[in-house]
Amino acid sequence: MLVAGNWKMFKGAHQAREFAAQLRIVEGRAPDIDVVVCPPFVSLEATVSSLGPESRIQVYAQNVHWELEGAFTGEISPSMLAELGVKGAVVGHSERRQYFGETDEFVGRRAAAALEAGLGVIACVGETEAERESGDTENVLTRQVAAIPEHERLVIAYEPVWAIGTGKTATPEIAQEAHAYIGSLHPAPVLYGGSVKPENAGVLLALPDVAGALVGGASLDLESFEAICRAGAEAT
């Protein structure tokens, strides 16, 4: 089971270094969980350094470009990430799609380039509240999943957009139904991401088609993130 913490635009290099040092206790208290943390670009090197080479916690970037180099201002290539000791990247997060015009095509290209460079990938999919209410969830998921390559180092994160940063969480029934549907389209393990908290992690991570969690706000607090990892260990 995989639990990934997306720090979004929080924790600069100094905070990341201190937090990563504290994260080491999670390894001993949830030994059966694969843990990933996703700091901002400016904090990647500090996080990798603070965790150290012996840590089982992997560091992923929050995005990655599909070219190795070029005139792409503001972007970071897979080879640049690998040079820092970063092990993977998130692609297609709903905030990238919503605020920065990320398309299914771009998500697929980013994922393919990262995988070709030897990185792991967490590829995000999910419907908006309007799409769910109109009964379009399966069409949206089918379209988004179709753009994602198949690879042993790739996992999918189902994040219902209406449950991200809103405090809303998909019911276990909704989460299980969506995960099962994604599983019918793609062989990758599927994480749940949508306001995962210690209070609901146990129920969500125990669902048969949920292979872990992509955690947002709760991953910024050591106690909360550890509790989610321990819930995953108990579910496993």
pLDDT band at 162 (very low <50, low <70, confident <90, very high): confident
Q: Which residues participate in catalysis according to the annotation? A: 93, 159
pLDDT reported for residue 236: 84
Residue 95 to residues 23, 26, 98, 199, 230, Cα–Cα distance (Å): 26, 27, 5, 24, 27
Quote the number of domains for the chain. 1
Secondary-structure percent of the chain, ordered helix, strand, coil, rounded to 5? 50, 15, 35
CATH no. for residue 117? 3.20.20.70
Its pTM stands at 0.97
Span 171-214, pLDDT tens digits? 999 999 999 999 999 999 999 998 899 999 999 999 999 999 99
Q: Which domain holds residue 138?
A: 2-235
What letter represents residue 173's amino acid? E
Summarised one tens digit per residue, pLDDT across range 14-57 is 999 999 999 998 988 888 899 999 999 999 999 999 999 999 99
